[in-house]
Amino acid sequence: MSPSKKTIVTLILIALPILFFFGTICIGRYYVSLTDIFLTLWQGLTGNNSGVSAETTTVILQIRLPRAFQGAMVGAALGASGAAFQSLFRNPLVSSGILGVSAGAGFGAALAIVLFNTVFLTPLFAFGFGILAVILSYFAGKIDNTSTTITLVLGGTIIQSIFSALISLLKYLADTATQLPVITFWLMGSLASTKTADVYLALIPMALGMSGMLILRYRLNVLSMGDREARTLGINVIANKAAVIAFATLATAGAVCVSGIVGWIGLIIPHVGRMLVGNDNKWLVPASMSLGACFVIFCDTLCRSLTGGEIPLGIVTALIGGPFFIYLLKKTKGRSW
């Protein structure tokens, strides 16, 4: 990329999520203007009454702002870990769920719903089992103290199918009137159940994971050369791989535990990023974060405003993401691969 193009793309990638963030707060059945948002934020900061109605303040601060923020974080986390995993596994078809984090989280959530009959512990269980699934995959794929890309992917695939089977088992055992719908909806993914406390708790692993991936992002280039070359280029392959897996898992588990399983982002967003900034992870990881945030905010806005009810987020990301991806593929003639 030429320096001027780089500057333009960087500016767009910074401006776009901000635009989407404030845009989604305006959109909905209860109309909020941009002025309302800024006045409310100003009021929150200074304590001076700015003359915005109490309902508007509630809609902004209690409902839309946390939801927009959560959407942005979930999208950024899934986009970044998708990019990280694609480089790590040297495979453009890999997504953030490759090591079983989504399946594990799904099982954790279903287990919490069946055991406690409440959604209160769901995020915690989802997070815990998401992490557990990745640890199991890592050790399943570890042979003689090293883990090659192939055995790691195999380990992930095996653990994924085990947890998928366990999810089916829980669905089968669940009370069909009360628990089964909750499990099913959770698995479709949604930002509808945003509570402010969730946002802040899930923020910690997501922020940690994303910071880690940002710090390690150049190493992803080197790791994508394969174990042998990465080693001779001077990096500790085992330690760097483990660190990337740990950070990507933290981010994904943090995202999945509040949003449920939202497919597509970890697969498609890095490819959109590649078309914009190329393959150098120095640019690709932050670009995937920005684009992921925009994509989730956009899809979630459709989820809550297209119909009277809420459409699950996972459905919309796939329905929008699929055709959009085909469009991009045709437009760039697949040159990014």
Taking the complex as a whole, the smallest distance from the CB of residue 288 to other proteins amounts, in Å, to 13
For residue 329, which phi and psi values (nearest 5 degrees)? -60, -45
The nearer residue to other proteins, 23 or 278, going by C-beta atoms, is 278
Our separate counts of H helices and E strands in the chain read 14, 0
The nearer residue to other proteins, 80 or 111, going by C-beta atoms, is 80
Taking the complex as a whole, the smallest distance from the CB of residue 225 to other proteins amounts, in Å, to 7
- Who's near 124: CB < 8 A, 6+ residues apart? 112, 257
Give the residue from 217, 183, 220 showing the smallest Cα distance to 91. Answer: 220
259 near 190, Cβ under 8 Å?
A: yes
| Both tokens assigned to 130 | 């998401």
Residue of 29, 228, 331, 333 interacting with other proteins (CB under 8 A): 228
- Which of the ranges 158-166, 189-197, 276-284, 309-317 carries the binding residues for other proteins, by CB under 8 A? 276-284
Q: How deeply is 191 buried, as exposed, middle or buried, from its count of CB atoms within 10 A (0-12, 13-18, 19+)? A: buried
From residue 236 to residue 255, the character string flagging contacts with other proteins as x (rule: CB under 8 A) and all else as - is xx------------------
Residue with tokens 């990023």: 273
Q: Should residue 92 be labelled a site residue for other proteins when binding is judged by CB under 8 A?
A: yes
CA angle 204–205–206, rounded 5-degree value: 90
Q: Should residue 336 be labelled a site residue for other proteins when binding is judged by CB under 8 A?
A: yes
Taking the complex as a whole, the smallest distance from the CB of residue 2 to other proteins amounts, in Å, to 9
Q: Should residue 333 be labelled a site residue for other proteins when binding is judged by CB under 8 A?
A: no
Residue of 225, 315, 318, 328 interacting with other proteins (CB under 8 A): 225
The CA–CA distances, whole Å, from 140 to 6, 88, 99, 126, 144 equal 42, 17, 10, 21, 11
- Which of the ranges 5-13, 45-53, 68-76, 274-282 carries the binding residues for other proteins, by CB under 8 A? 274-282
Q: Give how many residues touch other proteins by CB under 8 A.
A: 32
- Who's near 61: CB < 8 A, 6+ residues apart? 40, 44
Residue with tokens 């993401």: 321
Taking the complex as a whole, the smallest distance from the CB of residue 123 to other proteins amounts, in Å, to 31
Q: Supply the Cα-derived Rg of the chain in whole angstroms.
A: 20
From residue 12 to residue 51, the character string flagging contacts with other proteins as x (rule: CB under 8 A) and all else as - is ----------------------------------------
Taking the complex as a whole, the smallest distance from the CB of residue 272 to other proteins amounts, in Å, to 15
278-317 residues in contact with other proteins (CB under 8 A) are 278-280, 282
Taking the complex as a whole, the smallest distance from the CB of residue 282 to other proteins amounts, in Å, to 5
The nearer residue to other proteins, 55 or 90, going by C-beta atoms, is 90
Residue of 231, 275, 302, 319 interacting with other proteins (CB under 8 A): 231
254 near 77, Cβ under 8 Å?
A: yes
Q: Which residues pair with 146 in a beta bridge?
A: 143
The Cα 265–Cα 77 span in angstroms is 10
Residue of 82, 274, 292, 295 interacting with other proteins (CB under 8 A): 274
The nearer residue to other proteins, 55 or 229, going by C-beta atoms, is 229
Residue of 19, 55, 90, 242 interacting with other proteins (CB under 8 A): 90
77 near 251, Cβ under 8 Å?
A: yes
Report the interface residues with other proteins, using CB under 8 A.
Answer: 86-87, 90-92, 215-219, 221-222, 224-226, 228-229, 231-237, 274, 278-280, 282, 335-337
